[in-house]
Amino acid sequence: MADSITGVPACIAPAATLSGWRYSPLCFLSRCTFVVKPSEHTPASTLEFARLFAEAGFPPGVFNVVTGYGPGTGGPPNIVFADADEGVINGVVAGIFAAGGQTCIAGSRLFVEAQMHDEIVSRLTERARAIKLGDPLKMETEMGPAAFKGQQEKIKSYIDIAQEEGASSVGYGQVVDVALYEAVFAITESLLPEYDGYGIIRQRTGNILPGLTPSNIYACQEDKWVVIGGNADGVFKRLMQTIGRADLAEDPRFVDNPGRTRHQEFLDGVIADWTSQYTLDEVMETMNEAGVPAGPIYDAADIMNDPHFNARAMIEDHEVSITPGESNTVRFPGIVPKLSETPGETQWLGPALGAHNEEVYGQLLGFTPERLEQLKQGGII
């Protein structure tokens, strides 16, 4: 057995990475010591490995574990010694740049012996510039995008700092392809498979959901309406108990959706009788407390007064002319969707009513100025 140490190659890795263990015989035969730095949160398994090494007869100092908190034992670093071979740069690049949300390693710190500093920085810069970015599913891609929003925002902050310091960046985008009808088609639920699988063409059913009972809109006081979905078995029981009909909550006829659907009109009538006694706000408060899905049916006035619409900037104030010669502030719908970098804005509402009367009636249709004036005086145009 070796009785002296001649070198100190380090393998510093997260607790989940055990690739270093297979190098232990090499470290032993080379008369080197082996240093392991596990995560300070999960060092127990590594300490158990150290105990097994000792039981196996390895001399003291061959296998070493560094644990604990402090500036010297933070996230795993990359350590480059002066005698490192040509492959060290790829290892450093993998340790640093592979930590962008794609793997469990985080070799974000780099320690280099002083005499190698300038050479390592130069070679590392050259290699980093050659990294192939792109779709992580393609074979030629060396580094793909970060995997979650927090990492994306962190990377963006680094890019902003770099640009402030004079760097330039190349961005990649994509085309958003969507048709108007697809927005509605996406919420038709089982309409298509019902036809393709069973030959059923769904017909108009009003506000109900066939087979899901109760699910409908119900009148409240003050000419307001509420939608209530009590079609899940547990939710139906809570709904009935909340509106004072505990007897129906335990009625075997209504134990499941098929049974409730056979008595849909009766159940809708029971719910409607209850909602008609209360205001929309009172119904919503009661449903929320009972854990029953419900929502208000809005008209334009409700939308105007809803703080959520305003908080989302979905209501915009614009100056328009309602009465000729006067300017009025009128609210319009905001822009959707809202993109993080280019949220969009309404820059122009379009021409005023009658702005092109001269071109259309006069130039295209040949009306004389006198005829146009008569139409204006008569309130026709």
Q: What is the pLDDT of residue 249?
A: 95
Domain boundaries along the sequence of the chain:
19-164, 210-293, 298-350, 354-381
Return d(Cα 379, Cα 381) in angstroms, integer: 6
Predicted confidence (pLDDT) per residue in 220-274, tens digit: 999 999 999 999 999 999 999 999 999 999 999 999 999 999 999 999 999 999 9
* Band of pLDDT at residue 338, cut at 50, 70 and 90: confident
The whole-number average pLDDT for the span 205-229 is 93
The Cα–Cα gap between 261 and 257 comes to 6
How far, in Å, CA of 304 to CA of 73, rounded? 57
Which sign does the torsion angle of CA 178, 184, 187, 189 carry?
negative
Residue 309 has pLDDT above 60, yes or no: yes
CA distances from 196 to 187, 192, 199, 200 (A): 17, 6, 6, 8
Handedness of CA 39, 22, 106, 124 (dihedral sign): positive
Q: Please say whether the structural domain 210-293 has been given the CATH code 2.60.40.1170.
A: no
CA distance 313 to 308: 9
Per-position b or e across 168-197, b if 16+ CB within 10 A of its CB: eeeeeeeeeeeeeeeeeeeeeeeeeeeeee
Instruction: Please list, in sequence order, all residues whose beta carbon lies within 8 angstroms of the beta carbon of residue 190, skipping any fewer than 6 positions away.
Output: none
Is the preceding omega at residue 369 within 30 degrees of 0, hence cis? no
In this model, does residue 171 exceed pLDDT 70? no
Answer whether residue 19 shows pLDDT above 70: no
pLDDT at residue 10 is higher than 70: no
Cα diameter, the chain: 115
Q: Residue for token digits 């920085």?
A: 121
Strands 34-36 and 63-65: what pairing? parallel
Quick check: 16 pLDDT over 70? no
- Give pLDDT tens digits for 282-295: 999 999 999 999 99
Residue predicted with more confidence, 95 or 208: 208
Mean pLDDT of 172-177: 73
Q: Which is more confident, 320 or 150?
A: 320
Q: Which residues contact 149 (CB under 8 A, 6 or more apart)?
A: none
3-state per-residue secondary structure call for the chain: CCCCCCECCECCCCCCCCHHHHHHHHHHHCCECEEECCCCCCCHHHHHHHHHHHHCCCCCCCEEECCCCCHHHCCCEEEECCCCCCCHHHHHHHHHHCCCCCCCCCCCEEEECHHHHHHHHHHHHHHHHCCCECCCCCCCCCECCCCCHHHHHHHHHHHHHHHHCCCCCCCCCCCCCCCHHHHHHCCCCCHHHHHHHHCCCCCCCCCCECCECCEEEEECHHHCEEEEECCCHHHHHHHHHHCCCHHHHCCHHHCCHHHHHHCHHHHHHHHHHHHCCCCHHHHHHHHHHHCCCEEEECCHHHHHHCHHHHHCCCEEEEEECCCCCCCEEEEEECCCCCCCCCCCCCCCCCCCCCCCHHHHHHHHCCCCHHHHHHHHHCCCC
